[in-house]
Amino acid sequence: MQLPRSLQTRLGIGLTVGVTLFWLVALAGAVFAARNQLNARFDSALAETAQRIMPLAVVEVINREDRSRAQHIVAFEAHDEPLVYLVRDRGGQILLQSHNAEPAVFNRELRAGFSSSPTHRFYGAWAVQGSLHIEVAEPLAQRREAIRATAASLLWPLVVLAPLCFVGSWAFVRYSLRPVLAYRDAIESRGSGDLSPVSVQDLPTEILTIAASVNQLLERLRRALEAERSFTANSAHELRTPIATALAQTQRLQRELSPGKTRDRALGIEMSLRKLSELSEKLMQLAKAEGGGLLSTRQHDLAGLLQLIVDDLRQSPAADRIELALPESGACMRALDPDAFAILARNLLDNALKHGSAEQPVEVSLSPAGVLRIVNAGDIIPAGELAQLRRRFVRSKTTARGAGLGLAIADAVVTGVGASMELCSPASGRADGFEVRITFPVTGA
């Protein structure tokens, strides 16, 4: 049998079974002791009765004319006789018997003292110098019934107490585990980017050490990630100025050179520098997207932001094929940092314009429920490749320029704001193309 995983249920069941078992053992002991006591009491009553009846029986038998004839004692009124007796002479001849006595149940031998048969308990005694023998019999059923009643009266409370014990221990364990459950919830509810220490208030000492270690681990992880991010951001930032200077110098050099091989080389250098500049820009974006702080305390209208971003892009001729559809009802409010949303949307729009087929429009839509879809035409990307595209520096078959960081940046933003991103190829409802669908959940106002 497999134990339940929940500590609460396990302790509830364990304590209840334990208490029940101990109760049963105690009950067995109590019944055993009670049986011995009862037997002693019944035996003494039995002996007492025999001693009391004996003188009466002796007088009765001696005063009789025909001593050899058995005599039945007639009852005064009909009654149940728990005790029956037989008076016999030395030869076993019955001289006197109580009105309900059944001679067959008595001992054949004439014995003195206590003896038992499967159904009866006897007490025998001799009188008149051993010439008369009385034996009193008591059915054992009576004793058994008394013991059964004692056991039942001890067992009944258990029927009520066992469920109460289960509920009680379950509730108490639940109460005691409250800080642990609160700790679990605190860890569960935080986003993947939140590495701040978890509150360890009121935790039981057994778990406190674990919680403290988890916090230490989180702190180390946070510092390591922080160091990685700040290094990326700083290097990208530091590269900006030298790249811009080199680019300006190269452009100047080109203008000064007459057409020919040397000028072509200068053009090549310019191209490389532009790539480098784009790469450092993307690295900065990635560092920002992975750095957290993507959620805002204020609600912003994603529809308005998207409109601004698309308007800005449309300034360049390559972007005039964007078709934007915004919710009719107006705003789509989410607690998102506008810069983070802009980085996300620009990277995806950039991809759609760059990798999508140049003759076909790029469809951009935002639904009132907060679903952003960006669809473009183009070759289908096989599912195996599609699954890898979010990773850094991974690119599919494409002739367009790029570093392979756009979708990694988008993925970091989406994770950081608690949204979800799906990539589909072919796009839904078409035979070709690429679709990115992002769902922004409704966040607290």
Residues 16-55 that bind Mg ion (CB under 5 A): none
Number of residues interacting with Mg ion: please give it, by CB under 5 A: 3
Residue 352 binds which entry of Mg ion, ligand ADP, none, CB below 5-8 Å type-dependent? ligand ADP
The residue (of 211 and 407) whose beta carbon lies closer to ligand ADP is 407
Rounded Cα–Cα distance for residues 150 and 169 (Å) = 28
Residue 389 binds which entry of ligand ADP, Mg ion, none, CB below 5-8 Å type-dependent? ligand ADP
Name the DSSP class of 230: H
The yes or no reply on residue 398 touching ligand ADP (CB under 6 A) is yes
Of 40-48, 136-144, 288-296, 348-356, the segment contacting ligand ADP by CB under 6 A is 348-356
- With 0-12 / 13-18 / 19 or more C-beta atoms within 10 angstroms meaning exposed / middle / buried, residue 131 is exposed
**CA of residue 439 relative to chain centroid, distance:** 28
Of 34-42, 58-66, 134-142, 405-413, the segment contacting Mg ion by CB under 5 A is 405-413
The yes or no reply on residue 406 touching ligand ADP (CB under 6 A) is yes
In angstroms, the Cα distances linking 342 to 193, 237, 318 are 20, 19, 19
The yes or no reply on residue 372 touching ligand ADP (CB under 6 A) is no
Of 27-35, 155-163, 314-322, 376-384, the segment contacting ligand ADP by CB under 6 A is 376-384
Of 161-169, 191-199, 209-217, 392-400, the segment contacting ligand ADP by CB under 6 A is 392-400
The yes or no reply on residue 396 touching ligand ADP (CB under 6 A) is yes
Of 15-23, 379-387, 402-410, 425-433, the segment contacting Mg ion by CB under 5 A is 402-410
H-type alpha helices, 257-296: 261-290
The residue (of 35 and 395) whose beta carbon lies closer to ligand ADP is 395
Residue 378 binds which entry of ligand ADP, Mg ion, none, CB below 5-8 Å type-dependent? ligand ADP
User: The tokens of 90 are what?
Assistant: 């030395």
Contact 31, 149 (CB under 8 A): no
**CA of residue 39 relative to chain centroid, distance:** 54
Question: From the list 12, 124, 378, 406, which residue makes contact with Mg ion (rule: CB under 5 A)?
Answer: 406
Report the nearest approach of ligand ADP to the CB of residue 390 (Å): 8
* SS3 state at 257: coil
**Phi and psi for 133 in degrees, rounded to 5?**
-130, 130
Rounded Cα–Cα distance for residues 311 and 155 (Å) = 83
The residue (of 43 and 281) whose beta carbon lies closer to ligand ADP is 281
Contacts of 110 (CB under 8 A, 6+ apart): 88, 90, 92, 124, 126, 133, 135
Question: From the list 180, 211, 283, 352, which residue makes contact with ligand ADP (rule: CB under 6 A)?
Answer: 352
Of 21-29, 134-142, 155-163, 406-414, the segment contacting ligand ADP by CB under 6 A is 406-414
The yes or no reply on residue 351 touching Mg ion (CB under 5 A) is yes
The residue (of 161 and 424) whose beta carbon lies closer to Mg ion is 424
Cβ burial 323-361 (10 Å sphere, 16+ → b, else e): ebebeeeeebbbbbbbbbbbbbbbbbbebbbbbbeeeee
Question: From the list 174, 240, 395, 430, which residue makes contact with ligand ADP (rule: CB under 6 A)?
Answer: 395
Question: From the list 356, 370, 414, 427, which residue makes contact with ligand ADP (rule: CB under 6 A)?
Answer: 356
Number of residues interacting with ligand ADP: please give it, by CB under 6 A: 19
Q: Is the peptide bond before 426 cis (omega within 30 degrees of 0)?
A: yes
Largest interatomic CA distance in the chain:
167
Question: From the list 361, 404, 418, 426, which residue makes contact with ligand ADP (rule: CB under 6 A)?
Answer: 404
Contact 434, 356 (CB under 8 A): yes
Report the nearest approach of ligand ADP to the CB of residue 407 (Å): 4
The residue (of 169 and 351) whose beta carbon lies closer to ligand ADP is 351
In angstroms, the Cα distances linking 137 to 71, 75, 76, 271, 394 are 18, 17, 20, 121, 101
Residue 309 binds which entry of ligand ADP, Mg ion, none, CB below 5-8 Å type-dependent? none
The residue (of 12 and 406) whose beta carbon lies closer to Mg ion is 406
- With 0-12 / 13-18 / 19 or more C-beta atoms within 10 angstroms meaning exposed / middle / buried, residue 108 is exposed
Report the nearest approach of Mg ion to the CB of residue 438 (Å): 15
Contact 240, 217 (CB under 8 A): no
The yes or no reply on residue 402 touching ligand ADP (CB under 6 A) is yes
The residue (of 341 and 434) whose beta carbon lies closer to ligand ADP is 434
User: The tokens of 240 are what?
Assistant: 């900006």
Contacts with Mg ion by CB under 5 A lie at: 351, 402, 406
Name the site residues for ligand ADP (rule: CB under 6 A). 351-352, 355-356, 376, 378, 381, 389, 395-396, 398, 402-408, 434
